[in-house]
Each structure stands twice: as structure tokens, then as C-alpha cells.
Chains A and B, each alone.
Chain A
């Protein structure tokens, strides 16, 4: 069960009408290394991971949903007042044809989200290393998105999200250490 707080994890300000960025931001919305993929991946892996690290997956997955909400807010703000012509100029014509102004889980090239982006091997190390890789890929994606916009307000929110990926990657690395050490085991010397 979750308790919803009706505010964003970090404020999202968009200071510039740059519809083109909405399209690129969707890489983090419905892309292979986006927030949706991350949230669903961890939320599903948590059932078959040793008890001690379930909480890590649960907490990070929950936070990824909060990030998803931030990305959605950015895309929504950028596209809500755009005319059809403006959307077309920004490369979002095909999106409009299928979805009007609705948001959808596409990547930046318009490819719809698929569960094939994520994995659950049932092996704790295999799964956790995938999660670490996912965090680093998301961090890199945020860097390229920060590079692509000159809107300092948008950059500010994206920098926050990028830093969270770095913290998450460390938490998964710590989970790996907990799995390796297995402090439950009695050792006789």
C-alpha cells in the first residue's frame, strides 16, 4: 500500500517554451532506461530477492514513481498549450496523431514502452547488477538531457534527478555487499 502526497518530490519549473525538449524528455518517461522501466523493474524484482535488501528495491522503486511524476509534469507543461503546428515542428506530429495532447509511455523516438526493456532473473547478483547499470544509464541520459536544454529551471530539476540516480546506484552497490557478506551466517573459527 502507498500513501500519496499531493506534491512533487522536487519542484518542477519550466522557464522556456521549448516543445522540442518534451520529445527528448520522453526518453526518461517511457524509454528503456527511463523512470517507468526503473520503477517497474525494482517493484517486480523485490519479491525474489533476499529479505535484507527487499526494502532497498521497494524504497527506490517508490522514489522512481515520484521521479516519473516529475518528468510527466515537465512534458505536460511543455506540451499543454502547444498548437498542432508547433507539435509538428517539434517532431511530435506522429505523437499527436495517436495521442492528441495526452502523455504516453514512448521513448524520444516514439517507440512505445515494452516490458522487454526490463529483466528479472531471480538471481540476486544478476538482478542487482542490472539495477546498478540501469541507474548509471539513467544518470547518463539525464546528463545528455541537461546538455540539450538551455533552460536553467529545467536543468535544475534534471540535476536533482541525476543526483538521485547516483545515490540509488550506491544503495544497490551496498545491497550487493549485503548479499555477498550474508551476515546471518554463523562463522566458526
Chain B
């Protein structure tokens, strides 16, 4: 699932005023690799499906807050 995260290093100029970020990330969700959903894909249990927001593990895209829980 972690493979949905892409990472790149942005350009660093010699005179940048602020400390540089080491890398930037973006998400490529699984819908980018499916043009037409095939029938009979494995399914989550109903409880899991409600929690995850989709019936199919093949469409699930996890996302974690960059803020996390419990204060900064």
C-alpha cells in the first residue's frame, strides 16, 4: 500500500531564504491503474468496507495525516 506514495526532491537554489524540505510526496491512488473495474474482485467484510469507504481492497488508498494525532 505504501507504494501509492511517490517522492521527489524539489530544486534547491543556492540562495533559498528558508531551510529546504528534504523531499516532497504525492499520492497516486489505485484508480489510476484501473480503466474498467473487472468483475469478482475480492471484497472487504462489510464492517471493513464501511470503515475504509470501499468494498474492494484493490481500490483502497490509505492516507495518514501529516499532522498526526495528539498535537504537534
Contacts and interface: CB of A to CB of B under 8 A. Distances in A.
Interface of A: 10, 139, 142-143, 146-152, 155, 159-164, 166-167, 169-170, 173-174, 177
In this complex, the member of B50, B63, B67 whose beta carbon has the largest number of chain A beta carbons within 10 angstroms is B63
B47 to A, nearest CB: 13
Prevailing SS type, chain A contact patch: helix
B70 interface: yes
Interface range on chain B (Cβ under 8 Å from partner): 20 to 34
A173 B51 CA distance: 24
Contact of B31 (A142, A147, A148, A170): A170
B71 interface: yes
Given A139-B29, A167-B31, A146 B63 contact: yes
Interface string B10-39: 000000000000000001011100111100
B50 to A, nearest CB: 7
B66 A147 contact: yes
27 contacts: A143-B27, A146-B63, A146-B64, A146-B67, A147-B67, A150-B69, A150-B71, A152-B69, A155-B65, A159-B63, A160-B52, A160-B53, A161-B53, A162-B53, A163-B52, A163-B53, A163-B61, A164-B53, A164-B54, A166-B29, A166-B59, A167-B31, A167-B59, A170-B37, A173-B34, A174-B35, A174-B37
A156 to B, nearest CB: 8
A155 B36 contact: no
A169 B51 CA distance: 19
A150 to B, nearest CB: 5
Contacts of B36: 173-174, 177
Contacts of B72: 150
A174 B35 CA distance: 6
B67 A10 contact: no
B68 interface: yes
A166 B56 CA distance: 12
B53 A150 contact: no
- In the A-B complex, the 9 residue pairs with the smallest Cβ-Cβ separation, listed nearest first, are A163-B53, A170-B31, A147-B66, A160-B53, A152-B69, A166-B29, A146-B65, A150-B67, A169-B31
B72 to A, nearest CB: 7
Contacts of B27: 143
Nearest to B34: A170
Contacts of B65: 146-147, 149-150, 155
